[in-house]
Amino acid sequence: MPCQTYTRLPSSIRTLWMGFRNRNTRYTVTVEHPPLSVALPAFAISEKHLARYKALCGLESKGVPPFYPLTLAYPLCLRLLSQKALPFSMFRMLNREVTVSSYGPVPSGVPLRIHTAVSSQRETNKGVDLCLATDMFHENKKIWCCINTFFFKGAGTGKPQAVPESAPCHLPSSPDPFEKPAKVPETVSWFLPHGNGFRFARACGDSNGLHYSHWYAKMQGFEGAFAQPMLVLDKCLEKAGWNHMERKFSATARLKGQLYYGRELTLSHEEAAEGKHIHLFCEGNKKPCISVIAKNSKG
C-alpha cells in the first residue's frame, strides 16, 4: 500500500470525520495490520507554534523540548488510525505508552522530513496493542523518533503473545521499573488550571473532546475533562531538573490515569540504574497517572 504524502499536517476535523465514516467495531485475531504509512516530506518547525506550545505547557527551557515533536507526530498517527484498512475503531483506542528518542538538539526553521507508519501489532490478554512509529529526519539524518502504543480493548485471545526482542514496543522486563518505589520524595507541586484544553488541542492536533469538554467527558464516564499527556510531559522533565538538550536522550512514558483540570499535580523523581524515574500524581488519586523513565546516552 503506497505511502500517503501531505504538504501540511492533516486537518484534525477531517481526521475525526474519516474515523467516524470508516469506523470498524469488529475485529478477529486473524486480521493483521496493513502496511499503512504517511509522510510529511518538507516541514519546518514554526517558532510561533513552538512558543505557543511552551506557553501552554508553562515551560521555561530554551530550544525544542524532546516531547514537542509529538505535536507533529500525533496528527499523522490519528490520520493512520482513521483509515478504513485498519480493523479497529479509532474511537475505541487508548494511547497508553509513548517512547521518544532524540539524537541531539532538534532544529527549528529548517526543512524536516517526517514519516509515520504502523509498525507492529501485538495481542495481550485484554486486547490488542498497535504500535505506530514516527521518524524525523534532517538532511537524511534521523534526529528524533517515537513509538506511540495504542490499546484496543476486548479483542485479545485471552493468552498474551510473546514479544520478540526486535519489537518496537518498549515494554520493560520484570521487575517493572515503572512501578512507584516504596519511598520516593515528593519534589514539587503545581496547579493544573482550567481553560487550556481546547487551545492545546488545536496546538497538538488531538481534537478528542475528553480533553476540553466537561460535559462530553462526563457522558463517557469520567469525572470531567482531563489534560492531554503532551501538556505535561516536558514540564515533568523540566521540574525534575533533567538536562537533555545537548545529548542523545530517550524516555518512555506510561499513561495510566487522568490528570483532571482544576486539581493539584505532584511530581516525584529518583535516580535509578535504568535512568531517572519520574512519577506524576493528580489530586484525589494515590497512584501515579504518568510514569516516565528518562535517560541520556553517550555520544
SS (H, E, C) the chain: CCCEECCCCCCHHHHHHHHHHCCCCCCCCCCCCCCCEEEEEEECCCHHHHHHHHHHHCCCCCCCCCCCCHHHHHHHHHHHHCCCCCCCCHHHEEEEEEEEEECCCCCCCCCEEEEEEEEEEEECCCEEEEEEEEEEEECCEEEEEEEEEEEEECCCCCCCCCCCCCCCCCCCCCCCCCCCCCCCCEEEEEEECCCCHHHHHHHHCCCCHHHCCHHHHHHCCCCCCECCCHHHHHHHHHHCCCCCCCCEEEEEEEECCCCECCEEEEEEEEEECCEEEEEEEECCCCCCCEEEEEEEECC
CA angle 167, 156, 165 (to 5 degrees): 15
* Mean pLDDT rounded to a whole number for the chain: 83
Lowest mean pLDDT among 74-83, 98-107, 178-187, 191-200: 178-187
CA angle 160, 163, 169 (to 5 degrees): 110
In the predicted structure, residue 84 carries a pLDDT above the cut 90: no
Lowest mean pLDDT among 17-31, 72-86, 95-109, 253-267: 17-31
Lowest mean pLDDT among 63-77, 194-208, 221-235: 194-208
In the predicted structure, residue 134 carries a pLDDT above the cut 50: yes
Residue ranges per structural domain of the chain = 4-297
User: 127 or 115: which carries more pLDDT confidence?
Assistant: 115
CA atoms within 13 A on the CB side of 109: 4
pLDDT in tens, 137-195: 998 899 999 999 999 876 554 444 443 333 343 433 334 555 555 554 557 999 999 98
The CATH number that domain 4-297 falls under is 3.10.129.10
User: 22 or 119: which carries more pLDDT confidence?
Assistant: 119
Q: What is the pTM of this model?
A: 0.85
Tell me what percent of the residues of the chain surpass a pLDDT of 70: 81
pLDDT in tens, 239-281: 988 765 556 889 999 999 999 999 999 999 988 777 889 999 9
Give me the pLDDT at residue 241, please: 84
Q: How far is Cα 241 from Cα 238, in angstroms, rounded to an integer?
A: 5
Tell me what percent of the residues of the chain surpass a pLDDT of 90: 47
In the predicted structure, residue 35 carries a pLDDT above the cut 60: yes
